[in-house]
Amino acid sequence: MPLEDVKRGCCHLHKINISRGIPNQFRPTFNNLVNLCNNEFTGGFFRADASLGLAARSVTCPLFCGGMDVLTQIERLVKEVDGRYATDTELAFMAGYAHSFRQRAQTYLILQKLEPVIVQQVLQRLQKRDPSLLKQGDKDLTAKWQLDTVRVLRYSATAMLLNDGDWLREQLLFWFQTIMRAFRAERSCGVTYEVMQTVVQEQLTPAQAELFCPILELNRSLLGASDRAEVGVAA
């Protein structure tokens, strides 16, 4: 989902928070959501010392939770509560929404901290598993692999935070898939994100890994090997 769509949703949330009967206890949730989404994502990590750090500590900045696009659910709720108070069921949805984001925000901050460790461990295991994975003829592609892997990892962390695989597909994976196929790099990409899932499971708690590994599997399935066996630059 494009960031502008998220921001438009945040504007709706801010409006109903003030004028549509959402209780005061949800006011910090919506205000911090607006603040977080106003931080443009440009391929890095959101600031840990601002809205996201507050979210991880106090459960006051949710974005997406559950298996659906929560922004869609929120927009539906905005329409349904127009001119009335939210029901107990609708408020329960909001509470679950906030609870899910706390775990996602904590996982996101840990991924930011562990990024160098994850990338280095994946690299070491790839080199041990098959040294040819990061070579193209006599050319060593390790430096290129590292740059690409960091980029994909950061986008993946944001997709996990948003719980939005469609956003990741549209913002990065479809475009990157074309490049990797042009370099005949599918096999090395597939091994990269297969191994990364193992590394993540070792570095994170089971609950945190459960949030992030589906995103890595999405990377593996879209960037990984097709029926071709050629090896090139890894993502």
Q: What is the tens place of the pLDDT at every residue in 134-176?
A: 998 889 999 999 999 999 999 999 989 877 888 899 889 999 9
Strand ranges for the chain from DSSP E: 135-136, 139-140
Q: In this predicted structure, what is the pLDDT of residue 53?
A: 46
Q: In this predicted structure, what is the pLDDT of residue 100?
A: 78
Element (H or E) spanning 136, and its range? strand 135-136
Q: What phi and psi, each to the nearest 5 degrees, are found at residue 106?
A: -65, -45
What is the per-residue pLDDT across 111-135, written as a single tens digit (0 to 9) for each?
A: 999 999 999 999 999 999 998 999 9
Distances (CA, A) of 123 to 27, 188, 218, 235: 45, 11, 20, 11
**For the chain, what is the mean pLDDT?**
74
Distance CA 61, CA 105 (A): 9
Please say whether the dihedral angle defined by the alpha carbons of residues 74, 77, 79 and 83, taken in this order, is positive or negative: negative
Kindly report which listed range (59-73, 143-157, 173-187) carries the lowest average pLDDT score: 59-73
Which residue type occupies 13? L
Report the percentage of the chain scoring pLDDT > 90.
42
Give the mean model confidence (pLDDT) for residues 186-191. 94
Q: Where are the domains of the chain?
A: 3-103, 107-223
Which superfamily does 107-223 belong to? Answer: Phycocyanins (1.10.490.20)
- Cβ-based neighbour number of residue 91 at 10 Å: 16
> Residue 212 — very low, low, confident or very high, per pLDDT cuts 50/70/90?
very high
108: pLDDT strictly greater than 50: yes
